[in-house]
Amino acid sequence: MNGLGEKIAKKRKDLGYTQAEFAEMLSVTRQTVSRWEAGTVLPDIDKISDIAEKLDVSCDYLLKDDIKDESADGAAPSRTGRLLASAKGKTVKLTFYEDEIDADLYDEPCEIVDFEGNWMKIVANTKKGRIEKLIPVSSVLSLKFEQK
């Protein structure tokens, strides 16, 4: 088992969910949850925030081996954290560091749906259609609030 799979299995069991129940909550199959927990496959990055939410843990807890605090709100938010938390539900345009450019979101208004630690869940209606992404805060150079 890998660290991520072990954490998912432990928290799922602690909360009393079977693999089938947890799978239904996430709209995946029981076999998918089993594979995550066994470490044979990793969840899609877009599923990580949903898994964290259902298990009441942070994305950082799931993704980083050195984080022992399981709670979703384990640490006091930084200034950046407070800014991003206040931006939740607002429309912004994001610019990215040159080596972190996200072509799907270039010059596109998007909504910050959720923010947790080092991750932002955003939704954007682009030329390609609706995009929902989990992006690392570290890839964002700046954000500009847009008027609705």
What one-letter code names the amino acid at 10? K
* Residue 24 banded pLDDT, cuts 50, 70, 90: very high
Q: Alpha-carbon distance 59 to 40, whole Å?
A: 20
For residue 133, is pLDDT > 50?
A: yes
Give the start-to-end residue ranges of the domains of the chain.
3-63, 79-145
CATH number attached to the domain at 3-63: 1.10.260.40
For residue 35, is pLDDT > 70?
A: yes
List, in order, residues 6 or more apart from 76 with CB less than 8 Å away: none
For residue 116, is pLDDT > 70?
A: yes
For residue 148, is pLDDT > 70?
A: no
* Residue 78 banded pLDDT, cuts 50, 70, 90: low
Q: Alpha-carbon distance 140 to 118, whole Å?
A: 11
For residue 36, is pLDDT > 60?
A: yes
For residue 39, is pLDDT > 70?
A: yes
Hey, what are 111's tokens? 């909504």
Q: What pTM did the predictor assign?
A: 0.54
Q: Do domains 3-63 and 79-145 have the same CATH topology?
A: no
pLDDT at residue 68 in the model: 62
Please give the CATH topology (third level) of the domain spanning 79-145: SH3 type barrels. (2.30.30)
